[in-house]
Structures are given as C-alpha cells and as structure tokens.
Chains A and B, each alone.
Chain A
Amino acid sequence: MEWLQQLVNGISLGSIYALIALGYTMVYGIIKLINFAHGDVFMLGAFIGFYAIARWDLGFIPALIISMLLCAIIGVIIERVAYKRLRNATRIAALITAIGVSLLIEYTVIFFRGASPEAYPEVLANKSISILGASISTQSIMILAVTIVLMILLQFIVHKTKIGKAMRAVSHDADAARLMGINVDNTISATFAIGSALAGAAGVIFGIYYTRIDPLMGVLPGLKAFVAAVLGGIGSIPGAMVGGLVLGVVETIVSAIGYSLWRDAAAFVILILILILKPSGIFGKNAREKV
C-alpha cells in the first residue's frame, strides 16, 4: 500500500502549500498584488515557532498561536509601510516593491542570525500507525487536523463575520464598498493579518514536518504556493485549498516515481500549463477586459 502512504505525504505537503496559498489568494483578491513577501512571512513564522519551542520551552499549540499572532502583526506592518502608498501605482511598481520587501526580510534575518540552517526540535510525538498496510505518522495526522481546523476557522471568518463580509465587499468593488461606509484600509489590513497568520501557522507546521529551517526557505514554498493559488483560481479561497492539495500530491508523485530532482520543475510546468490553457484556474471567474 505504498501509494496510500505517498498520498498521505502529498496531502501533508499540500496542506502546507494550501495554507500559504490562502494568504496569496486573499491579498490578490483584495488589492490585486502578488505579495512576494508572503513566502518570507512564512519563513519568519517558522523561526518564531522555533524560538518559542526551543528557547521558551513552549508546546506545539502555544508556539503555533504566538507565531500566528506575530506574523499577523508583521503582515500588517508590511502592508502599512510598503504597500499602502502603492494602491494607485502601476502593477509593475507594486510587484517590484513586493520583491524588494521580500529580499529585505530575507537578508535582514541573515544579517542578524547568519544563513545557517536550524534543526527544529521535536514537539509532537512521532509514532506510526498502520492503516491499510500504510504506515502513517501521527505528525501528518496532526498537521492535517490543524490545517482543517484553520481552514474551517477561515471559512467562518470570511462568511459569517462582519469583517469577512467587508472583505468580500472590498474585493468585489473597493470604491463601492467605501461608499457604503466600509473602512477599506482597515479591511485590507485585516486581510493581510489573516493571510500572514495562516502563513505563520504553515511555517511552524513546515518546521515540525521537515525539521530543517533556514532564512531562504520561504522562497520556493512561497512561489509554489503562488502556483497553487493560480491553479485553484486566484482570488478564490476554496481554489487555494484545492490547488495546494493538488500541487502537493503531484509533487509527491513526481518524487515517488523517481524524478525527485525534477520535483521543483513540476510546479512550474503546472503553472505554465494552467496559465496557457485556463488562466482563470479551476475555481476562477473569467474577467472581461475593459477599455
């Protein structure tokens, strides 16, 4: 039953991608910006979780919550300092600023603590349970459980609360939302906060699952999560979840059939295929070009 085990591995990896992709897709949905710094918020989340567990001897859940809170604050700071002025700037200016913020975070971390990797302490007991002949670690089950809880929480916030309603309104039409008395700036900040908190959670989970973190670890998962967001249809929350899971499973399959060095290329091949064949993604809406 090796395929079942690979499937579980793929889903674990995919749920990390999905958590990061949610932040991308929410931010893109609301201000049409690819937040390149999102992958680095994920990295910061992993490091905050690491210090919380290794230095302050906290358990998994408190570390997760601290990491999410601090990442939410960092996300809001990034938005307020760098992106707020660029609301009406060209897309290229916004994209370059995002790249700049990303590089700034990476190299500031390297500047202060060096580029050496860090080994994540083991906080979750790692036992294997055998289901249908496949040995599945309790860690993957825990990761999956945390991801599902966070996603349900997100769905609840977006669909049942006032701020969620405001987010949906702003992403639909920011000017009309402003006329209706919605505080657009605060709503955008809230979106960044929620997206960054999810990235922080993904960082802690990544650290526990792969045990090795370094200051440049956010770049590749960040890009792949963006691929996942595009795959699912950028701007769509269920799309990001499905896209992340599909990408994780595909990558694991590519590794499993013996092309592990090509794993990173698989994500980009998917990206290019989806951009050429169906740029709106699986769940996306087709946008008409207006003059």
Chain B
Amino acid sequence: MKKSKAFWGFLVLALVIYAVVQGMISGGMLDLYYQNILIQMCINIMLAVSLHIVIGITGQFSIGHAGFMAVGAYISAIATMKLGLPLIVAIILGAVISALAGLLVGIPTLRLKGDYLAIATLGFAEIIRIMFLNVEYVGGAAGMVVTNLTTWTYAFVGVVITILVIANFTNSRHGRGCISIREDEIAADAMGINTTYYKVVAFTIGSFFAGVAGAIYAHNFFIIQPTTFNFLKSFDILIYVVLGGLGSLSGSVIAAIFLTLVSAYLANFPETRMIIYSVVLIIVMLYRPTGLMGTKEITSLFKFGKKGGSKV
C-alpha cells in the first residue's frame, strides 16, 4: 500500500510541476532562455538517474555514460533526419539501440571490478565516440545538423518515465539483487544471486535511459558533434550522481537540478565552473565520501518527522 501511495504522490507532484511550468510557458512568463534551461535540466536529471542505477544501486563504477548518450543522440538523429520518422519513434529507437549497445558493452566488461571496470567503460565510450567521428554518414567531426523538435513536454515526460521505472526497479526483486551486489558481491554470489545477470540488467537499463536523454538532447540543439560526448560529459554526469549521494535517487535528481542552474549561471565562465566542480568533488570525497544525501531518499526525511524517529 505504502509503495503505491508514493507512486501516486509522485505522479500528482509531476502533474502539478508540469501544469505550472506549461502554464508559465503558455502565459509567456518563461522565455526561450529559461525554457532551454528547463529542458537541459530534464536531460541532466535523466542522465543522472540512469547513471545512478549503475553506480548508486549496483555499485558498478562506470565512467563512460556519455557514450550511450551519444548512441541515443545519433541513432535518433538518423531516424528523424535521414529516415523521416516522427520524434517519438526516434526517441524509442535511439533508446533501444543504446540499450543494445549497453548490453554488448556490459557483457564483457562487467566481469571486471572497480578501477578496471571504470577504465574499460571509459575506453568503450571513447571507441563509440571515435566511431561516430569516422562515419561520414553522420557528418564526421563537423557534426550532424538536427532540427529542433524537443519541447518541454517531451523532456518532462522523459524524466517522469525514467524516475518511475528506475524507482520501481530499485524496489523490485531485481533491484534488491542489485543492491546486494553493491553491498558485497562475494556474499551476494554466495547467496545464489546471479551477479553477472543483475549487473548487465542494471547496465542495460541505465544505457536505455541515457539513450532517451541523448535523443532528447540531440533534438534540442541544432547540431550534434562527437566532441560533445567526450569523457568530460561522462564526468559531468558522474558528478551529479556522486554529489547527490551514491545510492540516492532523489539526491542525484537534486544535484542535477542544482548543478544545471550553477552551470547556466556560470555559462560565461566555463573555466571557473570546472574549477568549482572539481574542488567541490574533491572536498565532498574527502569529508563526506557517500555524497550529500548518502543512501537516503528525500522522502525518508519527511517520514522521520512524522513517525517521531521510530526505527525503520
């Protein structure tokens, strides 16, 4: 019962946010600049949440997330620009191909652990990027021209679906399996959990939603270039997850919203932005290695007050 209450609560909240923002857009209170920031925020939330399932829930350290975003972006761009498909089909196509890429990358690499996995995912992301750089069909290094099709509605629905699926996955039997891998892989293995299977499932779901985010990103700007999806983009996504708290869905959402605003504010000072990012990253890791929220969710803060500190 409790779970469905949270589910409906989230849906109502999402509808309210959507209605308010849509009302403001229709009423002309938000100009294109702010609309763009909102869409950017949605894309970053999707990326953060999709990486959260890999790093926060399953504990597999992937720093190649931008590679899957690139797959989603390019496949969807090909679908709309070259094949003339509608945007919604293009998004789904991009996400599915991205999930397949995640599956292909995940099966061999997820046998690795820790540092090696991190480097291998980084390597795969670079290979994906270099592939797009070398294919003339998608414009090579010059990039690919894409019409602007993304609206606030697409971006927001994408966020809602991403959060719903990943939150439900976390609470399911599969999600529990993934959390047990994060806590102790050897123990999970000994308890009869198919660790490789759950790792690959989490990785594939993560790349699916990175693909959705990539598709929406591709249709938000007028051009996509391989250099956009380099490892700096992966680090950006990583920062959302780490800052928000490894294992906290709401934490990564809050961090994504907050850092999008910060980077929009500092858009004219990109160096300052990166210096602040890196200093924050180092300080958080040195003094609070679990991230700001730890594994707690924002809802548990409210529950704490209501129940008067009863043990969960």
Contact = CB atoms under 8 A, between A and B. Distances in A.
Contacts of B122: 223
A32 B274 CA distance: 27
B282 A104 contact: yes
Interface in A268-291: 268-269, 271-272, 275-276, 279, 289, 291
Contact of B124 (A89, A97, A107, A272): A272
Interface of B: 55, 61, 63, 108-109, 111-112, 114-116, 118-120, 122-124, 126-127, 130-131, 133-134, 186, 231, 235, 238, 242, 246, 271-272, 274-275, 277-279, 281-282, 285-286, 289
Nearest to A108: B275
Say what secondary structure dominates the interface of chain A. helix
The 4 A-B residue pairs whose C-beta atoms are closest, nearest first, are A268-B123, A100-B281, A103-B278, A104-B278
A210 B108 CA distance: 36
Contacts of A291: 186
A230 B115 CA distance: 11
A101 B186 contact: no
A85 B288 CA distance: 12
Interface of A: 32, 34, 82, 85-86, 89-97, 99-104, 106-108, 110-111, 219, 223, 226-227, 230, 261-262, 264-265, 267-269, 271-272, 275-276, 279, 289, 291
B115 A91 contact: yes
B109 A275 contact: yes
A34 B124 contact: no
B286 A101 contact: no
Nearest to A105: B278
Given A92-B246, A268-B123, A262 B134 contact: yes
Contact of B115 (A34, A103, A262, A276): A34
Contacts of B114: 91-92, 95
A268 B124 contact: yes
A219 B63 CA distance: 14
A92 B61 contact: yes
A219 B231 CA distance: 10
A104 B278 CA distance: 5
